[in-house]
Amino acid sequence: MHSVTSRLSVVCLLTLVTAAPLSAENWPSWRGPHSNGISDEKNLPAAFGPDKNVAWKVRLPGPAGSTPVIWGDRIFLTTVNDNGDLLLLAMDTTGKSLWERQISGGNKNVRGDEGNSASNSPLTDGKLVWSMMADGKLACFDFAGQEIWKVDLQERYGKFSIQFGMTSTPVLDEGILYLQLIHGEGDAKTREACVVALEAGSGKQIWRVDRPSDAYAENEHSYASPVIYQDDRQKYLLTHGADFIVAHRLSDGSEIWRCGELNRKGNYDPTLRFVASPVSIPGLIVVPTAKKGPVLALKPDGAGDITRKPEFHLWTWERTPDVPSPLIADGLVYLCMQDGNLNVLDAASGQEIYFERTHRQRHRASPVLADGKLYLVARDGKVNVIKAGPKFEVLAENDLGEDISSSPAISNGTIYLRTYQHLWAIRQK
């Protein structure tokens, strides 16, 4: 276990004795620069609100649950408007609007106030920006707003049969977009569940593979996003849904290993599809499941079906977050539950460090950690800031007074919070 523990440590950067961060850091995808919810920025405020540490806020055309992405002085985010159009917005880091582009139309709200068709987060590499909507429209633009390409994934890969829309966000790696399209029904020949790789600059397909499973009913679907696992020996794609987590080769999508029983067959609930996404560090993959299911910690070196192979399982924890994705830092796993409870586990052993209550409300945003602070965003606009580490300590309880389901984004000393009404820029004054 000592070798695993050493891999779990996160190197702390030195802090400059100024109000500026050590280095300006981009936030290119919904889980940040390292795809794990962790920022290296420093000197971030714990306390903020409508009258405190707000650099600016701008009114948005409508609500969305997606996370903004930031590169340099550009911010990109998705939204809907009063006509139900699904839009990609571009603004600068002063809040000035630069352009907006319609990706699709016909927005569909989810359970009244839970979300809509603009729930997928955009992503950028500093030159181009990509935006996918829940109806499968996927488009690429340059930073000036010029459309580079656009594709209808339902026309290309089959009609989506998924109750709340295809809200999975693609992952970008070395010029390739990877998408998991796990959307349910079909016979042996037409079953609509696949994983695809596209040339990011053109939208052309590089490969497509089927993703079989024995899930049924709503469990054939997935709202989770794919992630890349990487260590000093290997790198592969992880897709998450339909009762399995599956590792795929980046070269052709072929399957390396899979782990099932994530929705246990002995107590199967056909309504429990996956929403939270996995997270990894070298030597460890933490796998959330569906509401009432377990959290698994897997070793990355599997082959074939590892479901019942204990040599590839580090530990299992019985309580999983429903929507917020896990976070791993400094040898700890943070699990923000849907009701605001915070469960912290030892990453090497799975032993519980603490289980404490924060704000008792729905939590849909994934936690973000920066500057020794864990930011937990509740649906009613309250943001609890918890001291990172093995001892529970509430640093601040903040109230924006607006609905929010988006995860925070952090760049260049600023915390960006996208509520249903505004984009807020929070900065230490």
Q: What is the DSSP string of 354-365?
A: EEEE---S---S
pLDDT at 81 over 60: yes
pLDDT at 4 over 80: no
Q: Which of 235, 231, 257, 253 minimizes the C-alpha distance to 244?
A: 257
pLDDT value of position 22: 44
pLDDT value of position 108: 85
**Three-state SS sequence of 256-285:** EEEECCCCCHHHCCCCCCECCCCEEECCEE
pLDDT value of position 105: 93
pLDDT at 3 over 80: no
Q: How confident is the model at residue 59 (pLDDT cuts 50, 70, 90)?
A: very high
Task: Please measure the distance between the N-terminal and C-terminal CA atoms of the chain and give it in whole angstroms.
Answer: 44
Q: How confident is the model at residue 24 (pLDDT cuts 50, 70, 90)?
A: confident
Which residues make Cβ contacts (< 8 Å) with residue 225, sequence separation at least 6? 30, 168, 169, 170, 171, 180, 240, 277
pTM score, whole prediction? 0.92
Higher pLDDT, 95 or 11: 95
Q: What is the mean pLDDT of the chain?
A: 91
Give the mean pLDDT of 250-273: 93
pLDDT at 12 over 90: no
Q: Domains of the chain by range and CATH?
A: 1-65+332-429 (2.40.128.630)
